[in-house]
Amino acid sequence: MALKGLFRKKTVQDILKQVEKNNADGHNALGKHLTARDLTAFGIAAIVGAGIFSTIGKASADGGPAVIFLFLFTAIACSFAAFAYAEFASMVPVSGSAYTYSYVAFGEIIAWIIGWALIMEYAVGNITVAISWSDYFTGLLDSMGIHLPQYAQMDYLSASNGFKDATALMQGGKTFENLSLATQGAYTAWTTSPVIGSFHLVADLPALLIIVLITALVYRGMKESRNASNIMVVVKLCIVLLVIAVGIFYVDVDNWHPFAPNGAAGVLKGVSAVFFAYIGFDAISTTAEECKDPQRDLPKGMMWAIIICTLLYIAIALVLTGMVSYNELNVGDPLAFVFDKLHLKWMSGIIAVSAVIAMASVLLVFQMGQPRIWMSMSRDGLLPKRFSKVHPKFKTPSYATIVTGFVVAIPALFLNLTMVTDLCSIGTLFAFVLVCAGVLALQNRTDIPRGKFKTPYVNSKFIMPVLLIMGLVFSFGYNKKNTMDFITNETQINNSADIITSLNKEETQKVYDYLVSVDAKNATTGTPDLEVLLSQYQQDDAKYASVISDLPVADSIKYESGFGLFKHKIPMWIFLLVLVGLSVWSFKENLSLIPLLGLICCLYMMAELSVWNWIYFTIWLLIGLVIYFGFSRNNSKLNSIEA
């Protein structure tokens, strides 16, 4: 087969004919039950969940009240991408989302890559939500006097890593009582868990429970899923509005100063957590075949969902950071935490119940999206035929739904929240980038039938180069030091927590003895806590640098430099090089500005994720390519047509 066969494309006309012929070749049509209101509700169900009840706390702790700008930036970026999704959904109103759109725009190999990335988005996203749901559910049980063993409510990785961190901190003199609650829980889970050989039996059983229940509901039918989703959306919107209405009376504007305590870097540090809050809107596009009028209703549903949720997120962020200091919000249940801190326990209870409902609704939407992606790939021959089987009674992709349940449930027992959030975000952003690029690639094609919705056209020929020049002026004019440090790969000092957790027992004693010798005041207090001794200097950059330089340990522990530092900058260098290429492309081809900005914003957020996420994502894509060349390429329906 020629290399060009990798980029063989499907036409819009053929895709629409295939849907009409589903019954003829054994694939029953999906039931059509959804309106614009239902789609908006699905979008809200997916977006208002883990973000507002969980990850908003970490993002607020990093960025302070200025995190609202990150929500705004992310919403704008998602809106740009939503325009591209809406145009494709109007053009190709079938299940498959970005996978199907890429098949039309770029060809089979790119479609496979994006389909494989979407598997990561939905499966890993559901793992994240299931873990968050478990945290709230076990917290609710605790408040009712029902206490599950720690090892039965925590994932394996969190327990293992928490045990190691707790051990290192306690070696440095910190008492168990002074460890964070999360670290205490992880240490307890690890030390009290049953052991087989050297393997600790630690697993998040409540996460398994909710996945089984939601998978059963999704299997049962779209109408039932829609009704359940609509009820859950009404409940959680009422709770969010109640939180805002009550919380606004406890806002202390002094907590909004400083507004951006850690600057732009602190605000952007939460990009993964905040973006994760928005990714649900693209799941709407997977339900295209079940819409009564997809070309009209899909664009409306996406846009309204993003607008409503952005307003809610900004209001909640302002209320939270106004009720307590931003640096107290790095907790898994920030809404319940702030009301509990202000002794409004009745609100904490309401929030805990609503969070359990809200997380379940997010899980429901994501668990619907995954099987429909697999169904579309199976219809094209890229996955085994069983994945496209539709239940004759329930009109759902039954086999794919069951497989999705297993794919989500098993990792949820063992993976931790941070890892899966970041992996989900990078997979989703990659999909957004390709959808935006697909609209740009098709904008001048005359052979593509257009739907009812089209992204407003603004010529980026001169706007894009001007924006690039403005960015350079800002970088070298107003942010020169950070820019030059980035370019020259200037050595950076590690923070106190990273240094302490990297020390062995002998090094810990040496560092402690040294700090006591240079700080007589702390020595007289008799504090045995190494973290307290070292972190006190971080308020003064010059003093901290001086103290760190004299620590009696290797430079590799104190500093990050060379390739060890440069590797973390590789994603940003990729972004900058692509940005130059996009400027040239926009100048030559008069590209449409909105999808171009969507591509740039999403690629920038990818660049803000750690290099390890890029590495894990690359490994995932390579595994997908092995499957493609081993099975999918030869079994593709386009391959049989060519033959």
- Please list the rounded mean pLDDT of every run of 10 residues in the chain (643 residues): 68 70 54 77 76 72 84 84 80 70 82 83 76 80 81 79 82 75 81 83 84 84 73 82 87 86 76 70 72 78 85 87 83 76 79 79 78 83 84 78 84 67 77 86 73 81 88 82 81 79 79 75 54 73 80 81 83 91 90 90 86 87 90 82 60
Measured distance CA(171)–CA(255) in Å, rounded = 35
> Where in the sequence is the domain holding 196, given as residue range(s)?
156-202
260 and 136 inside one domain: yes
> End-to-end CA distance of the chain, in Å?
9
For residues 71 and 24, membership in a common domain is answered with yes
CB 514 within 8 A of CB 551: yes
Specify whether 49 is located in the same domain as 77.
yes
| Of the residues 548, 570, 592, the one at which a domain ends | 570
pLDDT score, position 200: 83
- If asked whether residues 92 and 185 sit together in one domain, one would say no
Six-digit token string for 537: 């200097």
| 525 in the same domain as 564 | yes
- Please answer whether residues 172 and 500 qualify as being in contact, where contact means their C-beta atoms are separated by less than 8 angstroms: yes
Distance CA 517, CA 589 (A): 66
**Cα Rg of the chain (Å, integer):** 26
Q: Which residues of 304-323 are buried (b: 16+ CB within 10 A; e: fewer)?
A: bbbebbbebbbbbbbbbbbb
Residues 320 and 363 in one domain: yes
Is the residue at 320 inside a domain? yes
From residue 480, give the alpha-carbon distance in Å to each of 32, 260, 378, 475, 483: 56, 20, 52, 6, 5
Q: What are phi and psi of 459, to 5 degrees?
A: -70, 125
**Domain presence at residue 15:** yes
Specify if 624 maps to a domain.
Answer: yes
Measured in whole angstroms, the distance separating CA 258 from the mean position of its chain's CA atoms is: 27
Classify residue 284 by its DSSP letter: G
**pLDDT for residue 577:** 92
- The verdict on 191 and 277 lying in the same domain is no
pLDDT of residue 4: 60
Residues 76 and 162 in one domain: no
Quickly count: other Cβ atoms within 10 Å of residue 518's Cβ.
13
Per-residue tokens: 130: 């299931």
What element of type H or E holds 554? none
Counted domains in the chain? 3
H or E element at residue 200: strand 199-200
User: Is 278 part of a structural domain of the chain?
Assistant: yes
Does some domain include residue 424? yes
Rounded (10°) CA dihedral 42, 48, 49, 51? 140
Residues 233, 137 share a domain:
yes
On whether residue 352 sits in a domain, the answer given is yes
| Same domain as 315, residue 257 | yes
pTM, two decimals, is 0.77
Residue 209 lies in a domain: no
User: How many angstroms separate the CA atoms of 623 and 332, rounded?
Assistant: 33
Beta-strand pair 559-560/199-200: unpaired
**Residue 396 belongs to what H/E stretch?**
none
Residue 560 pairs in a beta bridge with: 492
Please tell me the predicted confidence (pLDDT) of residue 525. 47
- What long-range pairs does 395-398 form, CB within 8 A, spacing at least 24? 395/28, 395/29, 395/30, 395/31, 395/221, 395/222, 396/30, 396/218, 396/219, 396/220, 396/221, 396/222, 396/371, 397/30, 397/371, 397/372, 398/219
Tokens of 293: 């009028």
- What is the CATH number for 230? 1.20.1740.10
Conformational region of residue 197, where left means phi above 0, alpha means psi within -120 to 50, and beta covers everything else? left
Q: Which residues lie closer than 8 Å to 480 by C-beta, 6 or more apart? A: none
Q: Looking at the structure, do residues 393 and 345 belong to the same domain, yes or no?
A: yes
Confirm whether 584 is domain-assigned: no
Whether residue 403 is found in the same domain as residue 531? no
Angstrom distances, CA of residue 407 to CA of 215, 352, 370, 410, 615: 11, 27, 10, 6, 21
